[in-house]
Amino acid sequence: MNLIKPKKLQKGDTIGLLSVSGDIRNTKNIENAAKYFQSLGYKTVISDTTYRKFRYHAGSDKERVKNLEEFFQDDKIDAIVCTRGGYGIIRILEKINYDIIKNHPKILCGYSDITALLLYIYKKTGMVCFHGAMANGDFGDEKISKFTEKSFFETLSCSETLNFKANGKVFNKGNASGVLWGGNLATIASMVGLDFIPDEKFILFLEDVNEPAYKIDRMFTQLFNVEKFRENIGGLALGVFSDLEKKNFVDDMFKEYAKTLQIPCCEGFLISHEEDKFTLPIGVNCEFSADKKIIETTECTFVN
């Protein structure tokens, strides 16, 4: 794939806070996040959809697509940070004009339901996207995680390669290389039926929240049943599965699949719905070592 890299984040840039998924129940949080970024020397723009509600979405499908395309088309906006996840991205994936995004590459960051948007943009355009902190839950409260803050700005402004270290169990030893790719398991499973899986080898990272062990098993099995997924997965880097009962069942399941696929696998990466989280680039080449419990990118994330 011909990789498209955005420009890195710099002081004085304008950050667009985009509501493109679930509705915003407390818009004050988004305004607080805007003030937070302004206090650090950035300018901000808040999307119209932040103040709109349609069922459980931040505006109708048409309104959310319109705001998304406008934010990419507006060259005064240098980076886009999504406000929250929730549910709604899967409804608009096929309605977006991806040529607009391809012709106006810029940072796009989010997680949870936003996973679907990140992965589909990468597949459709080859643009590097970012799985990481969002306005509502991470920068809209008085208490901001220092870890999350540090990873967010390091990843989005780094001119060098990056590394992400885990602290957990090794399920299958080994090393692998490929493009860094992944996100929220439930969201990824919901995309089965679309052409979204990379055509090249990828290192899959996963996280989820409030999902019982049997559902995690079912969702990963659903992915495993896709031939391209089985052929192209090169490694499995597991983040945090929050509020999980019977973790030993899930551990056994991932260990079983890693050995079946003959890929390295370890857990313990701070990729999560929790306060502390990494911001990772999707689409860049990386090396993954389950033995050393580390992901290291092998190229710069941004255009020179």
> The domain spanning residue 265 has which CATH number?
3.50.30.60
Assigned domain for 247 exists? yes
Residues 241 and 195 in one domain: yes
Domain count, the chain: 2
Residues 23 and 85 in one domain: yes
Phi/psi at 71 (5° precision): -65, -35
Tens of pLDDT along the chain (304 residues) come to: 789 999 999 999 999 999 999 999 999 999 999 999 999 999 999 999 999 999 999 999 999 999 999 999 999 999 999 999 999 999 999 999 999 999 999 999 999 999 999 999 999 999 999 999 999 999 998 899 999 999 999 999 998 999 999 999 999 999 999 999 999 999 999 999 999 999 999 999 999 999 999 999 999 999 999 999 999 999 999 999 999 999 999 999 999 999 999 999 999 999 999 999 999 999 999 999 999 999 999 999 999 7
Assigned domain for 115 exists? yes
3-state helix, strand, coil in the chain (%, to 5): 35, 25, 40
Lookup: tokens for 11: 């002081």
Those residues whose C-beta lies under 8 Å from the C-beta of residue 85, and which sit 6 or more positions away, are 21, 22, 110, 111, 112, 113, 114, 115, 134, 184
> Running DSSP on this structure, what letter comes out for residue 56?
T
Are 114 and 191 in contact by the 8 Å Cβ rule? The answer is: no
The neighbour count for residue 217, using CB atoms within 10 Å, is 18
Residues 182 and 62 in one domain: no
> Running DSSP on this structure, what letter comes out for residue 8?
P
- Give the DSSP H or E segment for 237: strand 233-242
Phi/psi at 288 (5° precision): -125, 125
Are 274 and 242 in contact by the 8 Å Cβ rule? The answer is: yes
Are 158 and 270 in contact by the 8 Å Cβ rule? The answer is: no
Distances (CA, A) of 205 to 51, 191, 240, 281, 294: 33, 16, 10, 11, 12
Q: Which residues pair with 109 in a beta bridge?
A: 81, 130
Assigned domain for 52 exists? yes
Q: How far apart are CA 91 and CA 141, in angstroms?
A: 29
Q: How far apart are CA 34 and CA 42, in angstroms?
A: 9
Q: Is 302 exposed, middle or buried (0-12, 13-18, 19+ CB in 10 A)?
A: middle
Q: How far apart are CA 189 and CA 192, in angstroms?
A: 6
| Structural domain harbouring 74 | 14-149
Read off the amino acid at residue 68: L
Residues 87 and 110 in one domain: yes
Residues 283 and 229 in one domain: yes
The neighbour count for residue 273, using CB atoms within 10 Å, is 19
Q: Where are the alpha helices (DSSP H) in 133-212?
A: 146-157, 185-190
The pLDDT, as a whole number, for residue 304 is 76
Assigned domain for 63 exists? yes
Residues 210 and 143 in one domain: no
Give the end of a domain, one of 122, 149, 176: 149
